[in-house]
Amino acid sequence: MKPIEYADATDAVRAVYDDIKRTRGVPDVNNFWKVLAHHPESLRRTWESLKVVMGPGSIDPVAKEMIYLAVSITNGCTYCIRSHEAAARKAGMTPAQHGELLAIVGMANETNSLATGYQVPVDAAFLER
Amino acid sequence: MKPIEYADATDAVRAVYDDIKRTRGVPDVNNFWKVLAHHPESLRRTWESLKVVMGPGSIDPVAKEMIYLAVSITNGCTYCIRSHEAAARKAGMTPAQHGELLAIVGMANETNSLATGYQVPVDAAFLER
Amino acid sequence: MKPIEYADATDAVRAVYDDIKRTRGVPDVNNFWKVLAHHPESLRRTWESLKVVMGPGSIDPVAKEMIYLAVSITNGCTYCIRSHEAAARKAGMTPAQHGELLAIVGMANETNSLATGYQVPVDAAFLER
Amino acid sequence: MKPIEYADATDAVRAVYDDIKRTRGVPDVNNFWKVLAHHPESLRRTWESLKVVMGPGSIDPVAKEMIYLAVSITNGCTYCIRSHEAAARKAGMTPAQHGELLAIVGMANETNSLATGYQVPVDAAFLER
Amino acid sequence: MKPIEYADATDAVRAVYDDIKRTRGVPDVNNFWKVLAHHPESLRRTWESLKVVMGPGSIDPVAKEMIYLAVSITNGCTYCIRSHEAAARKAGMTPAQHGELLAIVGMANETNSLATGYQVPVDAAFLER
Amino acid sequence: MKPIEYADATDAVRAVYDDIKRTRGVPDVNNFWKVLAHHPESLRRTWESLKVVMGPGSIDPVAKEMIYLAVSITNGCTYCIRSHEAAARKAGMTPAQHGELLAIVGMANETNSLATGYQVPVDAAFLER
């Protein structure tokens, strides 16, 4: 789907673009938002949700971005990996942390398939919560 | 596959069990290891890798466990979710952080499928690295 | 794998190509079939199945194509997204329906990971069937 | 995670439960919502989104539920399959439609892996949009 | 969905059950077929395909079953893991081969996520085919 | 991430490259290793594991590579499909076996989603192990 540029957008779409730019302090929004703009309701709703979820909270910003990136890698979503790797770096992820993050994601995918393949019974201790 | 208890394990398997217990300061190992023990080489190799990957590094321990948990949820691995949620709590994850983590994982899965479904073209800025 | 064009195909492969063209009223078959032709038995078997599954039944044609597209997005299969989005449009999917479809797929992926991450117990009412 | 019943819920959580019951005309909410209630912000945000996405639009209600179910099956989310199969039936899905839906989902998963395995090149016609 | 037993099945369904029993030399069919019987056309079509795909060919029977099991583990399908592990054993898979198979599946899932996470560019040599 | 060539690599990285070249009898290593070299510890650890897992054992080399390829297709990892298809061919996979392999992977993905979609109860016989 072709991205919709600011100049070609409706007022409702521009209002979301403006809020993204203000919130993030960036001169333009990414293609993700410009494509979502084909369905303005999804654009508005997704941005409102993302602003809350990725905004200030009890997990620090770089860890939040690394968690987002870990999910994106596991799903094999190229766009998401590229954009959230950039976001994680901007938030402060160092090259060493990036290398460790990928090692954890790789290891988790390996042990996940081992646990599934062996059909490991859940330990009684993990059921109490 | 049935877990192999310490009493029934070979010396090679016991040596790994002992190292896990020592490293983690726990009285017994989880079923994951007791099942992997059916293939001692996998037990040894997986533990040696996990010890390095989840050991001290540049990402703090609770963030490491939250990343592991995020991958496990995305893969839908019940055993892994249960055991790594417990590990994350032990490492210090608070209920508020757990709630935020799940919100991020949910949001990432939603936007991943939106980016994929719309076939969003990668922004030029994300290709430079 | 390189697509096998009609001119280069065996008689058995041409017979399937001809049936696809006749059934769909198209001048040529897609690359999917031209690549499957490397294993003629798979070409024949897959087409025979698809013809039945996507043929007239109790679900209307555009809904069938939207279901197919929803699965393809969730699997992250680029070829399948591109070809089934085209097929859904041809069957009558409007831009508004396309936008809603993607919103549903995104939402389903979000709530799926929330249900999995929280390990929600199945309601008793859902077990009776 | 244990479901939080109405009697034990805070006012903010009860307000969401009440809106779900009113909107759907049901006497109680499903476990999904009762578990999300551990993170009230996620409860509110997810319900507000779902109400919009699954509410009246250009795709008919039973097709919407079938699309949701198709994603849930592809993700292998047991809770989601059980609850959305029930929702689809309530919306009017017949046993014949259920059988056809599953046939489409199965077929889509087969052809998705064939397209991926053969690395089928995208037809030029599918790139124009 | 409840399995449909032979005694309660229609003639068309019984004909497929009989063919499965004859082909496999077993006294009864698995629940998979008894559940598919709710949609007789899917039962017939799926069995006809499976009989061809898993029948004699150029890959030996135990390797075929191990490939099937590898896919089932990667998809996290419990029923499929249980039934195809049994089928692989019946076809001759030894405990040592089972252990090695799981090690390969684990390793493949690890390196797959590393290749995806690092966005490794495809080597020129792999594009020539 | 940009591949690190031998000329630009540290001694520790070169030692791994040398071992890969020696073990496989190849003049250069693939991009996968050259990218992993950004995190030398992951390079060393992953290679040590892969050498054991894919080395001589009780499953023959071509079957090992076909299992690896089956997982890679199911994960939709383009790099992995391309590189392991090449590796499988080098190990002796014939075009006929490649066609059959893809048919099995496709079939397994179809029946996996049918078993999941119908929520087939595990047969008692498959629980005994």
What is the arithmetic mean of pLDDT over F48-72?
98
Contact B79 A129 (CB under 8 A): no
Q: Does residue B20 carry a pLDDT above 90?
A: yes
Residue A22, Cβ density class (10 Å: 0-12 exposed, 13-18 middle, ≥19 buried): exposed
Please name the residue that has the structure tokens 């591949």. Answer: F3
Which residue ranges does chain E devote to CATH 1.20.1290.10? 1-53, 57-120
The chain-wide mean pLDDT, for chain C, equals 97
Integer-rounded Cα Rg, in Å, for chain B is 18
Q: Does residue B129 carry a pLDDT above 80?
A: no
What are chain F's partners, defined as 3 or more CB pairs within 8 angstroms? A, B, C, D, E
- Rounded to a whole number, what is the distance in Å from the CA of F4 to chain C's nearest CA? 29
The chain-wide mean pLDDT, for chain B, equals 97
Level-2 CATH architecture, domain C57-119: Up-down Bundle (1.20)
Question: Residue E128 has what pLDDT?
Answer: 63
Residue F33: closest CA among C99, C30, F48:
F48
Those residues whose C-beta lies under 8 Å from the C-beta of residue A85, and which sit 6 or more positions away, are A69, A98, B126, B129
| Partner residue facing C113 (CB), from B73, B114, B116 | B73
Structure tokens at E55: 């029948």
Confidence of residue C88 (pLDDT cuts 50, 70, 90): very high
Contact E31 F100 (CB under 8 A): no
Percent of chain C with pLDDT over 90: 98
Question: Residue B123 has what pLDDT?
Answer: 96
What is the arithmetic mean of pLDDT over F90-108?
98
Contact E80 F49 (CB under 8 A): no
Q: Does residue C55 carry a pLDDT above 70?
A: yes
Choose from F102, F105, F111, F120 for mutation: most chain C CBs within 10 A: F102
| Partner residue facing A49 (CB), from D1, D2, D49 | D49
Question: Residue A127 has what pLDDT?
Answer: 84
Interface predicted TM-score (ipTM) of this complex, two decimals: 0.96
What is the arithmetic mean of pLDDT over A5-19?
98
**What phi and psi values does residue E46 have, to the nearest 5 degrees?**
-65, -40
Question: Residue D128 has what pLDDT?
Answer: 64
In whole angstroms, what is the distance from residue B128 CA to residue D89 CA?
Answer: 49
Question: Residue C128 has what pLDDT?
Answer: 64
Q: Which residue type occupies B33?
A: W
Integer-rounded Cα Rg, in Å, for chain F is 18
Question: Residue D127 has what pLDDT?
Answer: 84
Residue C4: closest CA among F95, F103, E57:
F95
Question: Residue A128 has what pLDDT?
Answer: 63
- The H helix count followed by the E strand count for chain B is 7, 0
Q: Is the dihedral of CA F24, F27, F32, F33 positive or negative?
A: positive
Please name the residue that has the structure tokens 């049935």. Answer: B2
| DSSP secondary structure letter of residue B106 | H
Confidence of residue E127 (pLDDT cuts 50, 70, 90): confident
Distance of CA F64 to the CA centre of its chain: 8
In whole angstroms, what is the distance from residue F38 CA to residue F60 CA?
Answer: 33
Question: Residue B127 has what pLDDT?
Answer: 84
In whole angstroms, what is the distance from residue F8 CA to residue A22 CA?
Answer: 42
Contact B1 F41 (CB under 8 A): no
Q: Chain E contacts of D99, Cβ < 8 Å? A: 38-39, 41-42
Which residue ranges does chain C devote to CATH 1.20.1290.10? 1-53, 57-119
Q: Chain B contacts of F45, Cβ < 8 Å? A: 49, 52
- Rounded to a whole number, what is the distance in Å from the CA of E120 to chain F's nearest CA? 6
Question: Which CATH number is A1-53 given?
Answer: 1.20.1290.10
E55-110 pLDDT, tens digit per residue, is 999 999 999 999 999 999 999 999 999 999 999 999 999 999 999 999 999 999 99
Q: Does residue F129 carry a pLDDT above 70?
A: no
What is the arithmetic mean of pLDDT over C34-49?
98
Residue C113: closest CA among A51, B109, F86:
B109
What is the arithmetic mean of pLDDT over E38-53?
98
Confidence of residue A129 (pLDDT cuts 50, 70, 90): low
Q: Is the dihedral of CA B81, B85, B91, B97 positive or negative?
A: positive
Percent of chain B with pLDDT over 90: 98
- Rounded to a whole number, what is the distance in Å from the CA of D67 to chain B's nearest CA? 14
Question: Residue C127 has what pLDDT?
Answer: 84
Question: Residue C1 has what pLDDT?
Answer: 92
Confidence of residue E114 (pLDDT cuts 50, 70, 90): very high
Question: Residue D34 has what pLDDT?
Answer: 98
Planar angle of CA A13, A14, A15, nearest 5 degrees = 90
F75-98 pLDDT, tens digit per residue, is 999 999 999 999 999 999 999 999
D20-65 pLDDT, tens digit per residue, is 999 999 999 999 999 999 999 999 999 999 999 999 999 999 999 9
Structure tokens at C14: 């041409």
* Helix ranges restricted to H, A55-94: 61-75, 78-90
Structure tokens at F23: 């073990």
Decide if A53 contacts B60 (C-beta within 8 A).
Answer: no
Contact E121 F31 (CB under 8 A): yes
Instruction: Answer whether 0.95 is exceeded by the pTM.
Output: yes
- Rounded to a whole number, what is the distance in Å from the CA of E76 to chain A's nearest CA? 6
In whole angstroms, what is the distance from residue B95 CA to residue D39 CA?
Answer: 9
Please name the residue that has the structure tokens 């597209």. Answer: C69
